[in-house]
Amino acid sequence: MKHQTNDLLRSALAKVNRTLKSTGLQRAFDLSRIRSDFSPSQNMAALRRLLTLGRFELVNDVNSGTHSDGIITRIADTAAIGQYLLVQKGASAPSTNVAIGASNGVFGITLQGGVSTTEPSAVRLLSSGRGTVMATSDGSAAIAVGDSIIPIGSVGKVETNTTTGSQQLVVGIALEAVANSASGTDAEFEMMPVYYFRTF
C-alpha cells in the first residue's frame, strides 16, 4: 500500500512540477528522491525541508544498493555533528549512524547544517565524482590552493599535508586558500574530495 500511495504522490508532484515549469519558476520537486521506505507524508515533509531549507537529505532507498549521487542518509551516533566535518561509521549502529571522523576510517563529510542525532541527514561520500565539498581547517597552518588535505586528530577537521617520508591519508585537494589560525567560517574552504589514499 505504501508503494502505491507513493506512486500517487509522484504523479501529483509531477503535475506540480509541470505547472512550476510553465510559470517559469526554477524550484521543483526531485521525484527521484522519493523514498519507498517513507510514507507519503514523510516524503512530503522531507521534500518540503529540501525546498525551504536547501537540505539535500533524501537519497536512494536503503534497499536499492546504490547511491549514484554520492550522498547517503545517516544519523549522528551520540552527539550532533557540525557542518563540513569528516565522519566515519558510528559505533552503536554502523549501518545507519556516523561519528565524528578520526584520522583513520573516514568515508564522508557533512554538508550544510551537519548531521542530527534524531533526523536522517545528508552525508557526502568522498570521491563520489560529483563536484566539490566544503571542509573545515583546524587552523594549525595555512592551506594553499592545490595542497593535499589530510584528517587531523579525532575532531573531523583537516589540515594541509606537510609531512614527507611517512604515510598520510589524503582526503582532498584544496581549491581555496585558508590562513593560518583561521577559525569559524574563515576556516571553511572548498576542496575536491578524494577517497583517501596513503602517501609514501
**Contact (CB, 8 A) for 99 and 154:** no
- Please determine, for residue 38, whether its predicted confidence score (pLDDT) is greater than 80: no
Tell me whether residue 144 is exposed, middle or buried, using C-beta atoms within 10 angstroms of its C-beta: 0 to 12, 13 to 18, 19 or more.
Answer: exposed
CA dihedral for 187, 51, 26, 7, sign (positive or negative): positive
The residues near 97 (Cβ < 8 Å, ≥ 6 apart) are: 74, 75, 76, 77, 89, 90, 91
What would the mean pLDDT of 13-40 be, rounded to a whole number?
A: 72
Top-confidence residue, 200 or 30: 30
- How many structural domains is the chain composed of? 2
Task: Note the pTM of the prediction, 2 decimals.
Answer: 0.65
**What cell numbers appear for 6 in the block?**
507513493
Last residue of a domain, one of 54, 69, 84: 54
**For residue 114, is it within any domain?**
no
Last residue of a domain, one of 38, 54, 70: 54
**For residue 122, is it within any domain?**
no
Q: Which amino acid is at 150?
A: I
**For residue 8, is it within any domain?**
yes
**What cell numbers appear for 200 in the block?**
609514501
**For residue 66, is it within any domain?**
no
Containing domain of residue 181, as a range? Answer: 133-198
**For residue 69, is it within any domain?**
no
What confidence tier does 61 reach under pLDDT thresholds 50, 70, 90?
Answer: very low
Lowest-pLDDT range of 34-43, 50-59, 139-148, 162-171: 50-59
Tell me whether residue 149 is exposed, middle or buried, using C-beta atoms within 10 angstroms of its C-beta: 0 to 12, 13 to 18, 19 or more.
Answer: buried
What confidence tier does 59 reach under pLDDT thresholds 50, 70, 90?
Answer: very low
